[in-house]
Structure 1
């Protein structure tokens, strides 16, 4: 077990003798005896000069330590709503080491939240994420209000945040009860996020705390307190030593996205949703075949790792982002949350899986171990072995999904195959093989899978990117099986060595193959023998109708995967080519990365807090 992984410990609902919400871990109450809303307004809003300080601003970012029940966030959100001079966007980043479960939070909000905040509290509870470590992005008011929740130790999370913070709400339990929430290293990590002119406020007011804040780079003073407390602390961030995310470059809010597959479509939706004009150049359309046309179904299932490594963390974040971004899409484009039974590779892995789940301590409603009988009951088919059940496993129809994402208002799709990019003014010009300009913008994003390597090479930009230079294309195919051959098909995704998907109306998709050094991606007898064999290996026979299927006689789909060493994507701005971005190498996890990487790039370009921790962003940065 990795020494760096610490399981999340949820909050326990408890009350003190006076009926106040109380933390048995820290021996302290959650909010002022005089009322959480009054404290939020006096200490945190007025203590930070709000709402006045945000007026006339395009966006405003708040960072909070100690989310608790979210009363500060709800009060801030209401103040934003009530202010006709509010900024167009309000971003809140809040760290919470011991979050409540959704059921507990909903019940507590009903009990403790005053009427003016009740409607907003219901919206918060409805979006509350599963209790999984890491960052969780929630969006309200059509994305104008975002809440990035960091579940885990603030000491670990704060140095991994990327944000330009305008106001800090320091609201952990009392310094004498939870000193780690007020120590110098954490305060320095927060001060490093401060934008010019940032302010700070907290109800706590000891000489030692003010000294710590001064050392960290905040210029603080005592101010009149709230609810019987003589004093609180307020101040501003000093200018020295700041390493906050740089302000976004002043660019035209127009981007050219090269590639109209899962990567390009995810980026297009994310940018257009923030008011950008997006031009997507699609080589597939130029050749008369849109990317993923005919790709009827695929699965999106998170990855588990005992040490919760980067791939597992990224896939979890990607799954959550995909559901949030795509669940409102029309028709068959929206994911179908049907769950995934991930079958163990062999019967001897049961104890190892149990140990992994115990070490991770993820909520059982998100992932749990199932034996063969329960796995079969969930699938509605006899499966070969037990395994893990992911309740959030999603069936996605890639062709429909991509078309819906590209239909986002503000996105224009043009046929065109980009051969190279050349500097043009402040930005870049995308040219075809004849040298003709296809489009230009201050921001150009190469999202054309393995084709991006060729564009970079022919543009003289591949040299500083040795990992990207190793990107290669792997062919693969999936097979469409009549649902009747599987008794109507499984009720959920069945995965493991290969996968078997529920009926999408035209049949059940089984997959997939991995073909190295292929000259073309095509459907064939050998490929179908492999896909049918993988599906059979997940099931416990006999299945006469399935076993009678003839390889080479079935419809299917074939395509390419762009694979990088380590099987993590390359996403970010090229350090040696400002304004030129890369989003490629999604391998066989295009659905996992599409929405997350779109939001990562769009948040960076728009100056928002990042939805991804900096250690993960660094691992996938182009190099």
Structure 2
């Protein structure tokens, strides 16, 4: 990621790359109001806006720059005093400004100071991809996409209400104003979508007119001679078929613009995360948990660390885990800061130390730093001496300090997420059966009357019925017992953690350590050390050999700490305590997220894929309307679950989705079904 190269001229940022100013030094705010807010008629549209739960107004922009347009739109939205509606602002930047440059620029606008400060506090690290930021207590969502504008909007899915076509002038930045970009703008628009732009250049007017916009001109402000604005007039075509290279099987089902009732099966991190996300959007949520209390299975370890997959390669899998980490850790910090749990005693997000415990790991860390995908404001390389000074234990190897991460008790997170007036928790209750009432097979066509779900629940020996508009399965292997999701390839991986008694010396550890395994600071007199990885093992009892594996790993990772906990002695302690759990994973180690496909319809509709018959268009994917999954988060659920909850809520409600199309397809529940059809396995 290449940040913007800035020259400051009279305290106004000037781009070296494009030889142009980011905003007018004399009337930047006035220009934004005139060109973007007024020409899109935002005040008029918002003055008659229905302030209902689930209502979202979405603005998209082609050049974030200093964020001035966003800040002014946020200020105007704030003045409306909406209680329920949300503003979603989507913007892109190929060369984003660094936080230090934004800080300097914001000194020019004291009237925007509260908005500037909150944005600065949550401004993401400069890494490629989608960054969704929650502001103003959830009333504002900013999705910043650090990428080329055309490539970025090719990956965006959703619907835009107003366009701010900003960015440097076409004469200085001709690559951005391309026919492909105009096509994507039209794809994301609908009759009534408005646009405005600071330029009236012929290439812009011609490009917008050609894709269906009505274009008008007005005199500009200051040196801008003319600006243009208008609205989208082209009728949207609802296609029933697409060519195979357009992947019709991933076309989304009907969305729910108005919040209703949601039944979530599973009271772990995945279930609690989507419950809270939907509750914040106005849904009435029931969480059904089969155990006596929440967080008893994959989320049941006494301490977990917020580690993620570190990679020098920018592919969908690695991008998902990185963006999940960057989305979820600030959310977790805010959640725990506002909880009853004590920082430093019950949790801390002061960073995770990734030790270079072997030569391969050392070389991978060097390559990671050189790749630029993990800049030093999130992954700080440490020498052995620096690591020793930071953790207080002699270390002979370098390490990485992964900022924003740390250690916590997953159950504390789950219970904090479920603490919401729109959420009802029902424990000791098992889902036996799901039946869709008034069944309609869902595709992209809107149905005026939505079907709903009837759940048969068992508590003790009594069956009860529950109806709900939507159902979300976040119950790991429990999904395999239901006929609608029995086909999903869920795999069990046994893991064992060891509870190692803390010594006076080991209690000085304040950072989570990560190596071949992990070690957390002491809680309640012991360190949680883990975890083994046995894909084929099924036994529930603690195994001494697994305790030995965990202790050997910490010895190889940081011998001085292993000595502090008497690791050699502990290997021979038959009374060592711990916990056995079973991670739910998929064959490609990514979660499964999204709508549930109708298997029989997929097998019939996509039968030509078996024979490579790709010339004819194929029907859009058919799904069980209102049935979704968030499954198989494996060992990274602390950070993957909240991010998946945001993505799934976007899918359910038809919002602009908080990730790119490639990542979404990599997570999609239909991916294995399509793969098996292509391979002639079904």
Same fold, judged at TM 0.5 (above): yes
| Deviation, structure 1 residue 451 | 1.4
C-alpha separation between the residues in 1 aligned to 2:490 and 2:274? 20
1:611 and 2:658 correspond: yes
1:443 and 2:482 correspond: no
What secondary structure, in the 3-state scheme, does the structure 2 residue paired with 1:285 have?
coil
| Deviation, structure 1 residue 432 | 3.9
C-alpha separation between the residues in 2 aligned to 1:50 and 1:337? 40
CA contact (8 A) 2:253 2:595 kept: no
Does the C-alpha gap of structure 1 residues 322 and 521 become closer, same or farther in structure 2, counting only changes over 3 Å? farther
Deviations 1:66-91 (A, max 9, x none): 11111111111111122357982111
| Number of the residue aligned with 1:560 | 582
Does the C-alpha gap of structure 1 residues 340 and 283 become closer, same or farther in structure 2, counting only changes over 3 Å? same
Query: Which of 471, 483, 501 is matched with 1:482 structurally?
Result: 501
C-alpha separation between the residues in 2 aligned to 1:21 and 1:73? 17
| Deviation, structure 1 residue 103 | 2.5
CA contact (8 A) 1:66 1:170 kept: yes
Runs (5+) with no aligned partner, structure 1: 1-7
| Number of the residue aligned with 1:496 | 515
Aligned positions of 1:128-207 closer than 5 A: 128-207=123-202
Aligned positions of 1:561-580 closer than 5 A: 561-575=583-597, 576-580=623-627
Query: Which of 300, 306, 317 is matched with 2:306 structurally?
Result: 300
Query: Which of 505, 508, 513 is matched with 2:527 structurally?
Result: 508
1:587 and 2:619 correspond: no
Deviations 1:197-228 (A, max 9, x none): 10010011112221112223322121232224
CA contact (8 A) 1:562 1:585 kept: yes
What secondary structure, in the 3-state scheme, does the structure 2 residue paired with 1:436 have?
strand
1:543 and 2:563 correspond: yes
CA contact (8 A) 1:193 1:245 kept: no
What secondary structure, in the 3-state scheme, does the structure 1 residue paired with 2:29 have?
helix
C-alpha separation between the residues in 1 aligned to 2:237 and 2:314? 31
What secondary structure, in the 3-state scheme, does the structure 2 residue paired with 1:578 have?
strand
| Number of the residue aligned with 1:122 | 117
C-alpha separation between the residues in 1 aligned to 2:263 and 2:417? 15
Does the C-alpha gap of structure 1 residues 373 and 242 become closer, same or farther in structure 2, counting only changes over 3 Å? farther
C-alpha separation between the residues in 2 aligned to 1:564 and 1:89? 35
| Number of the residue aligned with 2:648 | 601
| Deviation, structure 1 residue 247 | 7.4
CA contact (8 A) 2:295 2:410 kept: no
CA contact (8 A) 2:128 2:373 kept: no
1:265 and 2:265 correspond: no
C-alpha separation between the residues in 2 aligned to 1:209 and 1:403? 52
| Deviation, structure 1 residue 99 | 1.6
CA contact (8 A) 2:278 2:649 kept: yes
| Number of the residue aligned with 2:609 | none
| Number of the residue aligned with 1:419 | 432
C-alpha separation between the residues in 1 aligned to 2:191 and 2:433? 39
C-alpha separation between the residues in 2 aligned to 1:587 and 1:453? 16
TM normalised by structure 2 equals: 0.83
C-alpha separation between the residues in 2 aligned to 1:293 and 1:354? 33
Deviations 1:107-165 (A, max 9, x none): 2211x22x321221122112211112111122222211111111122222111112210
1:350 and 2:362 correspond: yes
| Number of the residue aligned with 2:247 | none
1:94 and 2:94 correspond: no
Task: Name which of structure 1's ranges 359-368 and 567-576 shifts more when overlaid on structure 2.
Answer: 359-368
CA contact (8 A) 1:473 1:560 kept: yes
| Deviation, structure 1 residue 438 | 4.6
1:37 and 2:43 correspond: no
| Deviation, structure 1 residue 275 | 1.7
Does the C-alpha gap of structure 1 residues 412 and 588 become closer, same or farther in structure 2, counting only changes over 3 Å? same
Task: Name which of structure 1's ranges 561-570 and 327-336 shifts more when overlaid on structure 2.
Answer: 327-336
CA contact (8 A) 1:333 1:401 kept: no
| Deviation, structure 1 residue 292 | 6.2
Query: Which of 443, 455, 464 is matched with 1:430 structurally?
Result: 455
Does the C-alpha gap of structure 1 residues 251 and 64 become closer, same or farther in structure 2, counting only changes over 3 Å? closer
| Deviation, structure 1 residue 442 | 1.1
Runs (5+) with no aligned partner, structure 2: 239-250, 439-450, 598-622, 671-682
CA contact (8 A) 1:528 1:551 kept: no
Does the C-alpha gap of structure 1 residues 234 and 301 become closer, same or farther in structure 2, counting only changes over 3 Å? same
| Deviation, structure 1 residue 485 | 6.8
| Number of the residue aligned with 1:371 | 383
C-alpha separation between the residues in 2 aligned to 1:211 and 1:295? 60
1:360 and 2:367 correspond: no
C-alpha separation between the residues in 2 aligned to 1:505 and 1:134? 40
Aligned positions of 1:35-74 closer than 5 A: 35-54=27-46, 55-57=48-50, 58-74=55-71
Task: Name which of structure 1's ranges 539-548 and 412-421 shifts more when overlaid on structure 2.
Answer: 539-548
| Deviation, structure 1 residue 537 | 1.7
TM normalised by structure 1 equals: 0.91
What secondary structure, in the 3-state scheme, does the structure 2 residue paired with 1:479 have?
strand
| Number of the residue aligned with 1:4 | none
Does the C-alpha gap of structure 1 residues 370 and 145 become closer, same or farther in structure 2, counting only changes over 3 Å? same
| Number of the residue aligned with 1:106 | 103
CA contact (8 A) 1:418 1:438 kept: no
